[in-house]
Amino acid sequence: MNTRRLSAIALGTVVFALVVTMALRGSAVRVLAQDSACPTAKDSYTIGFANLTEDIVFTQLVREGMVATAEEMGNVNLVLADNRLDGATALANTENFITQGVDAIIHFQTDEAFGNVIMARARAAGIPVFAIDIPMPGATFFGADNYYAGQLAGEALAAWVNENWDGQADAMLVLELPQSGPIPAARMQGMEEAFQNNVETPVADDMVFHLDSKNTQEEAFRVVSDTLPAIDEDAKIVAVTINDGTALGTIAAVEAAGRGDNLMVVGQNADPSGQEEMIKENSRYLGATGYFPENYGAQLLPRVIDVLECRPVPPSIYVEHVFISADNVCDYYPDNWPDFCSQ
Amino acid sequence: MSNLISADPARLTPARRRKWLTDDTLTSLSLIVSFVVLCAFFASQTPFFLTQANLSTIASTIAIVGITAIGMTLVLITGGVDISVGSVAALSGVVTSLLWLEHGIPLGVSTVLGILAGALVGLLNGAIVTYLKINPLITTLATFSIIRGLAFVLSEGQTNLLSNEAFNFIGRGTVAGIPFSLLVMLALYLVFGFILRYTAFGRNLYAIGGSPQASRLAGIAVTRHLLIVYIISGLLAAFSGIINVSQLASSAPRAAVGLEFTVITAVVLGGTSLAGGKGTLIGTLIGVIILRTLDNGLVLMQVSSFYQDVARGFVLILAVGFDQIRLKLGQLQRSKGV
């Protein structure tokens, strides 16, 4: 044996080693290539959107905005569901979305306690989740900057009192919604603190009445009616309210007691019924912080696509807030009030 | 809800009826005593309770529950129940506002049509209960959901503002310083109290509640009576809905949520039996006043709304508990009589 045979074996070994090395290297290159490309990127996406409820105007506008944006984008197939203000229903909707093989889930659901379970199911299925207005652990948050939204309304009310009532109100009604936890509480805190910090003479603590509106006009009407006897007949009253509906109930109660001239109210949302009230002549509704639910879809859906295509997205995305009043309602909603806006 | 077990023709004898009146009088007296104790308690806790302004507040905000409770009392006396009243109240407001605002129908006509919509729902309830023989609880639970849904469909979930001076007078106006809605409510109590006590129709309702079968054998047109009672309940609930819209100056499909439970609590608290055949409008009126006073006093004391809910729940349990005790005592008396 010759040297020739040994050389052939050595050459063969070297060739084999080279081939194996090349093969291994090639697969490693392929693995690296797959890692650097986005595994969830596709030509089109199926996104599940579970709305808070379909019973209120605000959420109807959110859904309409989502649908319109999805149609405009062209590569998004939206699967709709209704959480019916119920955590168990939100969980069931999550299961349905997973079964339907959605690429991402947008949840607008009220029950914080179900957040963990919903997120565990979605995480196990490898589906990213976006939470509107009520945070869920691990989900990208999208929605209101609640304290700031409250501040805007509180500051506007304080400015009005400083200008029209010599900087002093005698009593303050805080129409809140304690059953819904810290999110609406942040709005209320923002309104109350901003008012008290900006008005020339803050309302005395014992004349600040925290009332549970239960999120309905009737309940706001009832609790405000029941509280008015504890406030002097000629007292100047300010009210900060969780939304437009409770603002309307508050105004109705004070007007029914014949004390409407000594009242000024601010609220949250600025939905069409609130806008209609604030543009009335001699309205007691100064205005409300706008959330622009109709724009939620346009702001959120592109961020969902960013996540699916592996582009960076901040953990919290806040909507823009503006205090809407009779002075600027035509800038934002000219089509709602053509007669008023043409004046 | 009819209680066939307690059916006893002897209950219809004049002697037995006199006994009932004695029971009813005692019930009313015990309610009045409870009311006085409640007022004394709140008066000791807050200086604002016994003020004219507060009493006026209570008076001006009692009509919605009070008027709906009249219809509910009649329905419960016949052994039925009407869970749909809150939804009917919402529907009447929505129908009225849509007819006026979107179809340009004069507000007075729209209001009448809104109330008639409630009567129509009452007719539907009565027809299902009597002709299809479906349990009143199930029937009105179904219409509770259907009618609320219809209110949302018609209004598209929107709140509509209704600003009209004459219309607002229904819920906010006063006559000689007395709330107009309170006067209407008291007039309705007088009318229906008279009907219940002094007319054959009223007496027949008790008989039907005691035993529909015995009533049929006695020649009472049970089906017609039940239809009328459910129509009255729908009509009065719809009228309450109009007062609600007038007070709030707006209509919303979510209006009057939970009204049925408040009304049933007040009626049962007032001594009307869930088993049928027993109850008075004066008892109902006192039950309504007690509930409203309780709510008012707790708000004035600035008690947490969560505790207010607990208090209302306790009152309901107490009311139903008393009803059960009354029922057992009645059965005991009857068995001794036999």
* Contact call for B248 and A225, based on CB within 8 A: no
A245 CB contacts (<8 Å, ≥6 apart)? A215, A216, A217, A220, A273, B159, B252
Mean pLDDT in chain B?
Answer: 89
Look at residues B114, B117, B118 and name the one whose alpha carbon lies nearest to residue B160.
B114
pTM score of the predicted model = 0.82
Cβ atoms of residues B267 and B31 within 8 Å: no
Report the pLDDT value the prediction gives residue A11, as an integer from 0 to 100.
Answer: 57
**Are A278 and A308 in a shared domain?**
no
Report the pLDDT value the prediction gives residue A197, as an integer from 0 to 100.
Answer: 98
Give the side-chain half-sphere CA count within 13 A for A229.
25
**Are A108 and A239 in a shared domain?**
no
Q: Is B8 helix (H, G, I), strand (E, B) or coil?
A: coil
Over the stretch B17-53, which tens digit does the pLDDT of each residue have?
555 556 677 778 888 888 999 999 999 999 999 999 9
Report the pLDDT value the prediction gives residue A8, as an integer from 0 to 100.
Answer: 63
**Are A166 and A277 in a shared domain?**
yes
Of B157, B256, B305, the CB nearest to A212: B305
* Contact call for A222 and B306, based on CB within 8 A: no
User: Which of A16-25, A109-118, B276-285 shows the highest mean pLDDT?
Assistant: B276-285
Over the stretch B210-255, which tens digit does the pLDDT of each residue have?
999 999 999 999 999 999 999 999 999 999 999 999 999 999 998 9
Between A265 and B271, the more confident residue is: A265
* Contact call for A217 and B51, based on CB within 8 A: no
Mean pLDDT in chain A?
Answer: 90
Between B144 and A4, the more confident residue is: B144
In chain B, the percentage of residues whose pLDDT exceeds 90 is 74
Does B87 contact chain A (CB < 8 Å)? Answer: no
Does A226 contact chain B (CB < 8 Å)? Answer: yes
Task: Count up the domains in chain A and report the number.
Answer: 2
**Are A279 and A173 in a shared domain?**
yes
Q: C-alpha angle with apex A94: A92 to A99, nearest 5 degrees?
A: 95
* Residue B274 confidence (pLDDT) above 70: yes
Report the pLDDT value the prediction gives residue B337, as an integer from 0 to 100.
Answer: 61
Nearest Cα of chain B lies from the Cα of A281 at a distance, in angstroms, of 12
Report the pLDDT value the prediction gives residue A33, as an integer from 0 to 100.
Answer: 40
Nearest Cα of chain B lies from the Cα of A193 at a distance, in angstroms, of 21
Q: Which of the residue ranges B1-15, B93-107, B320-334 would you say has the lowest mean pLDDT?
A: B1-15
Is A16 contained in some domain?
no
β-pair partners for A240 = A174, A266
**Are A96 and A205 in a shared domain?**
no
* Residue A177: both structure tokens together: 């919604």
* Residue A141 confidence (pLDDT) above 50: yes
What burial class does residue A125 get, using C-beta atoms within 10 Å of its C-beta: 0-12 exposed, 13-18 middle, 19+ buried?
middle
Is A17 contained in some domain?
no
**Are A81 and A197 in a shared domain?**
no
Is A82 contained in some domain?
yes
Task: Report how far residue A28's alpha carbon sits from residue A166's, in angstroms, rounded to the nearest whole number.
Answer: 76
Sheet with A285-290, edge to edge strand ranges: A208-212, A171-176, A237-241, A263-269, A285-290, A322-325
Is A132 contained in some domain?
yes
Over the stretch A203-215, which tens digit does the pLDDT of each residue have?
999 999 999 998 8
Q: Name the CATH code of domain B9-332 (choices 1.10.150, 1.10.3470, 1.10.10, 3.40.390).
A: 1.10.3470
CATH of residue A94's domain is 3.40.50.2300
* Residue B211: both structure tokens together: 């035993």
- Residue to mutate among A54, A210, A226, A234, with most B CBs inside 10 A, is A226
Q: Provide the domain limits for residue A126.
A: 45-143+294-312
* Residue A72 confidence (pLDDT) above 70: yes
Confidence of residue A12 (pLDDT cuts 50, 70, 90): low
* Contact call for A277 and B161, based on CB within 8 A: yes
Does A276 contact chain B (CB < 8 Å)? Answer: yes
Tokens 């179904």 correspond to B142
**Are A336 and A187 in a shared domain?**
yes
Cβ atoms of residues B234 and B123 within 8 Å: yes
* Contact call for A216 and B305, based on CB within 8 A: no
Is A7 contained in some domain?
no
Over the stretch A143-173, which tens digit does the pLDDT of each residue have?
999 999 999 999 999 999 999 999 999 999 9
**Are A225 and A298 in a shared domain?**
no
Q: Say if strands A140-143 and A316-318 run parallel, antiparallel, or are unpaired.
A: parallel
Of A56, A223, A227, the CB nearest to B157: A56
Q: Give mean pLDDT, residues A41-60.
A: 91
